[in-house]
Amino acid sequence: MQVAVYPGSFDPCTNGHLDIISRASRLFEKVVVAVLINDKKHPAFTLEERVEMLKAATCHLSNVEIISFSGLLADFMRQHGYSVIVKGLRAVSDFEYEFQMALTNQALNDKIETVFIPSSSEFMFLSSSIVKEVAKYNGDLSALVPKELVPKIMNRFGKEK
């Protein structure tokens, strides 16, 4: 079975992530969304919350599985016998970092191939940080995140919506 692993911190999941997940789910037999710890970040949502939010946002996609993992992505891939990583590319500015990650993962595990999917144009500006910034100031999240996640995100920042 051709499986793609889509890793990220998803703090929180956005419509941009969902765009990549749903398009990958049409290209691969199964998509494993791996919620990983990024040591450089201090998440607003726990690992369990991020997994739950992704499950709610992808429940209509039958070949998508959500898991969490700590450690090196290359080790996770080896442990499960997976070889394809999917990443979204929003702009040229993403490329340098993503290229470095792809080469690092391949150096750690030479079976890994990284496949880049270009972001849909309407989500090019989007990031998890942008979502948190808008929520902090009680802005409208309806175009930025899956609708079922709006109350949870607003509540985290002390706003009822």
Residues numbered 86-125 forming contacts with ligand COA, rule: CB under 6 A: 88, 90, 101, 104, 119, 123
Residue in 75, 82, 53, 79 with CA at minimum distance from that of residue 66: 53
Which parts of 37-138 are beta strand (E)?
A: 64-69, 84-89, 113-118
Quote the CA–CA distance of 127 and 95 in Å, as a whole number: 15
Tell me whether residue 7 or residue 146 sits nearer to ligand COA (CB atom).
7
| Number of alpha carbons in the 13 Å side-chain half-sphere of residue 144 | 19
Q: Which stretch binds ligand COA (CB under 6 A): 14-22, 49-57, 134-142, 151-159?
A: 14-22
**Least Cβ distance, residue 92 to ligand COA (angstroms):** 14
CB of 161 to ligand COA, least distance (A): 21
Please name the residues in contact with 8: beta carbons below 8 A apart, sequence gap of 6 or more: 17, 33, 34, 35, 36
Neighbour count for residue 93 (Cβ, 10 Å): 9
Q: Give catalytic status of residue 17 as yes or no.
A: yes
With CB under 6 A as the contact rule, the residue among 4, 5, 11, 134 that binds ligand COA is: 11
**Active-site residue, selected from the candidate residues 25, 50, 87, 90:** 90
Return residues touching ligand COA (CB under 6 A). 7-9, 11, 14, 16-17, 20, 36, 38, 41, 72-74, 88, 90, 101, 104, 119, 123, 126-129
Q: Which residues are catalytic?
A: 17, 41, 90, 128
